[in-house]
Amino acid sequence: MYNHRARTKFLLSLLSISAFAFLLLTTVKPLKKSPRNTEIPRLHLHKHVQIAHSHCEGTLYPELCVSTLSTFPDLGSKTVPEVIAAAVNQTVGEVRLSASNCSGIRRKLKNLNTLEGRAINDCLELHDCTIAQLQSTISDLSPKKSPAKHYHDLQTLLSGSMTNLYTCLDGVSYSKNHIRSSIEGPLRSISHHVSNSLAMLKKIPGVHSSKSEVFPEYGSTKDGFPAWLSGKDRRLLQASASQIQYNLTVAKDGSGDFTTIGEAIAAAPNSSTTRFVIHIKAGAYFEYLDIARSKTMLMLVGDGFENTYIKGNRSVGGGWTTFRSSTVAVVANNFIARGITFENYAGPSNHQAVALRSGADLSVFYLCRFIGYQDTLYVHSLRQFYRECDVYGTIDFIFGNAAVVLQNCNLYARRPNENQKNVFTAQGRDDPNENTGISIQNCKVAAAADLIPVLSSFKSYLGRPWKEYSRTVYMQSNIGDLIDPAGWLEWDGDFALSTLYYGEYKNRGPGSNTSGRVTWPGYRVINSSSVASQFTVGAFIQGDEWLPATGIPYYSNLTIV
């Protein structure tokens, strides 16, 4: 039987819903579809949400930002650092859940091949590193630490966290078990949360927004070394090998404390606040070293890069991830290496094969040599400095997403396989607010001995954009005639050509002529010393605050000494 009362009630309900919908449409402006680079609409919403909107202005993912901050109690009474700290703390919880998801995948999928298993292990390590960096971020946001004074540290920690997440995704890209699709959603969400926190740093009182684009000029040096090196570390780097007081010695012939480098590193103290020096006597050490976060303030001193070698041959072609292919990996802060060759001898046909991977903040490499083919030197993340080093490779042989300066170094392209091109750099900045990039100052860009006889058979380029906001500059360097007149190479069609930042400033040599360079929107010839100064040791990696303690010579600004 048809129920007229029910029909009437149903029609009244529809009218009520329609009236409510009309009210919403006439009082609320619609959100724009794209969350990227959009202005937050001024909605007539609760004051709590309006405060969230105010904090989220300028973020790349504003809708996510507002929905996150709106859940925080007492938002109106929180300072900007407290808001960011709360957001980061929530992100830590999401990273833990993502790590648990990765562990679950490893347990559930019994048919993981070797490469997939290694990729998952990489992800777990990278998640753990991300949690530590986010916790350090929360600590630096504490009122007791004056967050504005830690602005660059905060940028570095959050940039490093994002790099870890994308490194995990890169490692599972070729999984046959669709692992990437199982972890990508949460990782993208986490990276967007970190991106928003990174953007909000500019709102901290005492931090001027211009700092994200123009870095302060630091000029102080002591004895030709950056101010952040202690006097003791300066003496260590300036002294001859025979003058240095070592804590431990490694010698293959048994004349030291240990015969392997790994044993000596294991014996070094954890969480040291003073420099611990290990002498590695001349010889070729076939070892894979993973220098963990706990081994802070460690220094490895060889007998010169022509005498002390650390060698390995892991590669992607051999079943390893790029991340795990490194002969030596270091994530211990304040690490120093001097007078050592790091080599990956997997060869030009085994694809990515890393000689050294550094994710160590405030790390220094002095008078070292890095030998490989594809992906020789992995400047993975955080702040790094290379002085008077030699780097040999073929494809993307200096790559990663650190904030790194190579100063007075020699960069040599080797002979690649047939039909291959040489590319000196592949920088991996994913977010425009990251403080990362590769700065090459007063270096030599040249062909290695094996490439010189066949130079006309292979093209060589200064770099190509691995990620969307790739940033690389060459300054005051001697660029050889091996570099193609275009200078730079595309990664994949027009990918990143508008968002990258590639610059050249007052270089010299036959390959430095910029008249035939690419015309991409992101490429520029830098004519201003104030712009070029942003990529110097003092400004780009805050070198004057930490390099003097290491004792390594450097110049802080554009003045070559």
Q: Which residues form the catalytic set?
A: 396
Separation of CA 215 from chain center: 18
Q: State the Rg of the chain over Cα.
A: 26
DSSP 373: S
Instruction: Give the whole-angstrom CA distance, residue 227 versus residue 424.
Output: 30
Q: Which pair of structure tokens corresponds to residue 289?
A: 């070293």
Nearest to 47 by CA among 70, 79, 80: 70
The percent helix, strand, coil of the chain (3-state, each to 5) is 35, 20, 45
Separation of CA 106 from chain center: 27
Q: Which pair of structure tokens corresponds to residue 412?
A: 């040599």
**CA-CA distances (angstroms) from residue 434 to 123, 140, 201, 331?**
21, 17, 11, 19
Instruction: Give the whole-angstrom CA distance, residue 69 versus residue 447.
Output: 53
Nearest to 324 by CA among 86, 125, 57, 68: 125
Q: Which pair of structure tokens corresponds to residue 312?
A: 């390995």
Please, what's the b/e burial string for 62-101 (b: 16 or more CB within 10 A of its CB; e: otherwise)? Answer: bbbbbebbbebeebeebebbbbbbbbbeebbeebeebbeb
Residue 409, C-beta contacts closer than 8 angstroms, at least 6 positions apart = 386, 387, 388, 389, 390, 391, 440, 443, 444
Instruction: Give the whole-angstrom CA distance, residue 455 versus residue 460.
Output: 9
Q: Which pair of structure tokens corresponds to residue 199?
A: 């953007």
**CA-CA distances (angstroms) from residue 304 to 241, 279, 340, 341, 384?**
9, 11, 6, 8, 21
Instruction: Give the whole-angstrom CA distance, residue 386 versus residue 367.
Output: 8
Three-state secondary-structure class, residue 68: helix
Separation of CA 333 from chain center: 14
β-strands 369-371, 390-393: how paired? Answer: parallel
- Containing 441, the helix (H) or strand (E) segment is strand 437-441
Q: Which pair of structure tokens corresponds to residue 504?
A: 């050249």
